[in-house]
Structure 1
Amino acid sequence: YSETDKMGVVYYANYLVWCEVSRTESIRQQGDSYREWEEQGFALAVSDARIRYHRSARYDDLVRIDTYLTEVQSRSVTYEYRMTLAASGELLVTAATSLIAIAPNGRPIRLPAAIRERLNGMREAPPAR
């Protein structure tokens, strides 16, 4: 029940947490990690988050999260997310987050060229809605 409200409906802000978890796992699957990036002197900070709720998930629903890296720029990246009920494929949420590369002091910086190249190789458009 930690992710739901009293009525058993997933609390709206938890979808953004799930976006972060899915994005982090996507980066890990490409062979990188946030921790390694921080050790290299940069991190990604969310600069914009958009979310559209189509249907509520409820307690004990299994939710599938598909994550797509849709844009890579010199200083930023954008991910899009599609959350569906695992059993039926019914659309729950569509979301997007834009992240900016920052130095340890919080100032925006360019993404390292090698990271940008790898990320560009992962770009993918989400399916048409």
Structure 2
Amino acid sequence: MATDSALPSSVISRLRVRYAETDQMGVVYHANYLVWMEIGRTDYCRACGYAYRAMEAAGLRLVVAEARVRYLSPARYDDDIHLTTRLLALRSRQVVFGYDIRRATDDTLLATGETTHLPTNHAGRIIRLPADIHAALSTGPTGQAA
């Protein structure tokens, strides 16, 4: 497991709220925050040098075992969103990501979240995280300012 002092830096994903992501009140529908966290996770892994597609091609799936979102302020259509993704824990059979979602124009914290993932094989059996993927995530994002 990575300790707090050894955790790699974060990755920032930039998004713009699309009209289709809002409800009748003009507020981003709550489930879209989970979709955004998936974007952040994918960007984080890619920045570590291991794209999700490559993981899946190698037979690895990172299944979501738990997801948590705390909604603090609404995002609205056309807001410029900055999603910060960081690794919270890395174990042989578990990966935990943390997220902060902010409106870029005023830096308002809109939501925070966390997802816990279990590495599985193509048959859905929990496995140890392959050493090369563990090493890539342990090293953290490259070429990205924290």
Q: Same fold (TM over 0.5)?
A: yes
Matched, 1:37 2:55: yes
Larger RCO of the pair (alpha carbons < 8 Å, separation 6+) = 2
Which of the numbers 65, 87, 92 marks the counterpart of 1:69? Answer: 87
Aligned to 2:29: 11
Displacement after TM superposition at 1:52 (Å)? 0.3
Tell me the amino acid that sits aligned with residue 64 of structure 2: V
Structure 2 gap segments, 5+ residues each: 1-18, 142-146
Displacement after TM superposition at 1:22 (Å)? 1.1
Query: Over aligned residues, Cα RMSD in angstroms?
Result: 1.1
Structure 1 gap segments, 5+ residues each: 124-129
Displacement after TM superposition at 1:79 (Å)? 0.3
- The alignment-based identity, stated in percent, is 45
Displacement after TM superposition at 1:28 (Å)? 1.0
TM-score (norm 1): 0.91
SS of 1:63's equivalent in the other structure is: strand
TM-score (norm 2): 0.81
Aligned to 1:126: none
Displacement after TM superposition at 1:101 (Å)? 0.2
1:37-116 equivalences in 2 (<5 Å): 37-116=55-134
* Counterparts of 1:78 and 1:23, CA distance in 2: 10
